[in-house]
Amino acid sequence: MSADIEKEMWTSKLRKSWQKNLPVEKLLPDTQPSYVASWIYLFGVATLAALALIIASGLVLSFEGASWYHFSRVGHFVNSLHFWAVQFFFIFMVVHLWGKFWMAAWRGRRLLTWITGALAFVGSIATAFTGYLIQSNFDSQWISYEAKDGFNSVGIGSRFNVTNFGQMILLHVAFLPVIIGVITIIHVLLVRAKGVVPPIDAFNKELGERK
């Protein structure tokens, strides 16, 4: 009787698929396959750590306002944290990307993991770019002046105006980080749900025996 009711419900469908694909044992496991033993696996986590630092320092900067770091020593220090964390974020992400490429880590129905990762990469470049535009110093004056031509040339400039400080600061601190955050969460949950991809030749024997 209760099974009949459940059958119809979206809520129970979501719960069941969640339980099936990502039970908490998969989300927070005690073990990993023995092949997960290389420094290259550290770069996904390192990218996450850098993202956490970026968000934390960025929140402090937001609370103090856009011009704080130009006149406060503490402000300049927090800006420096934000700046260096971004540099590391990109270094880690690029090494991670190349690592996953050479491991062909999209195998075994992990295409969406790759796609969300690549979207995070492209989205991060856009986010960092808007960050450079809102520095409110000489660099941001010049970057906005130069970059407008690129966006105008394909009509994007009519809606996304890099010389509009108000628009850029709102996108940088509200819209874009939320997008990056959501994509990253999906990315990491997908990795946990699918498990770490096995080595390329892991099943040679099995497949040989079958033939």
Partner 1 sequence: MSDPRAELEAAPWSGPTRRYDLIKEGVVALLILTIIVTALSTLFGSPDDKQITFKQWAVAAPADFFATSVQELAGTSGTAGYGAPYNTASVGVNLGPIHLAKIMGVTHPIDTVNDFVITPLTTVANAAPVADALKQWQGSDAKTQSTWATNYDTALSKANQDPTKVPAGDFGPVPQLAAGLLTMAQAGSLDGALLSQGNYFQSDYTKQTLFLGDGGYFSDQSTASNLQGSTWGMMNETGRYPGQAWLWLYSFWYQIPPFNNSNSHPFGANADAWIMVIMGALSLGLICMPLIPGVRSLPYKIKIHRLVWKDYYQEQNL
Q: Which of residues 136-165 bind ligand HEM (CB under 6 A)?
A: none
Site map 160..189 versus partner 1, x via CB under 8 A: -x-xxxxx-x--------------------
The three-class DSSP label of residue 199 is coil
Task: Out of 54, 78, 110, 168, name the contact with ligand HEM by CB under 6 A.
Answer: 110
**Nearest distance from C-beta of residue 190 to partner 1, angstroms:** 12
Alpha-carbon span 211 to 202, nearest angstrom:
16
Window contacting ligand HEM (CB under 6 A); options: 4-12, 73-81, 95-103, 164-172 = 95-103
Task: Out of 149, 181, 182, 185, name the contact with partner 1 by CB under 8 A.
Answer: 149
Q: Which C-beta is closer to ligand HEM: that of 169 or that of 191?
A: 191
Q: Which of residues 41-80 bind ligand HEM (CB under 6 A)?
A: 41, 43-45, 47-48, 51
Of partner 1, ligand HEM, none, which one does residue 164 interact with (CB within 5 to 8 Å by kind)? Answer: partner 1
How would you label 2-33 residue by residue, b for 16+ Cβ within 10 Å and e otherwise? Answer: eeeeeeeeeeeeeeeeeeeeeeeeeeeeeeee
How many residues in the shown chain lie near ligand HEM by CB under 6 A?
27
Q: Does 114 bind ligand HEM (CB under 6 A)?
A: yes
Task: Out of 96, 130, 133, 173, name the contact with ligand HEM by CB under 6 A.
Answer: 96
**Nearest distance from C-beta of residue 90 to partner 1, angstroms:** 5
Concatenating the DSSP letter of every residue in 70-106 gives: HH-HHHHHHHHHHHHHHHHHHHHHHHHHHHHHHTTTT
Return the half-sphere exposure (C-beta side, CA atoms, 13 A cut-off) of residue 116: 17
Q: Which of residues 177-196 bind ligand HEM (CB under 6 A)?
A: 184, 187-188, 191, 196
Picking from 92, 114, 121, the residue whose alpha carbon sits closest to that of residue 187 is 114
Q: At what angle do helices 111-133 and 176-194 cross, to 10 degrees?
A: 160
Q: Which of residues 91-110 bind partner 1 (CB under 8 A)?
A: 94, 99, 101-104, 106-110
Picking from 113, 145, 133, 114, the residue whose alpha carbon sits closest to that of residue 176 is 133
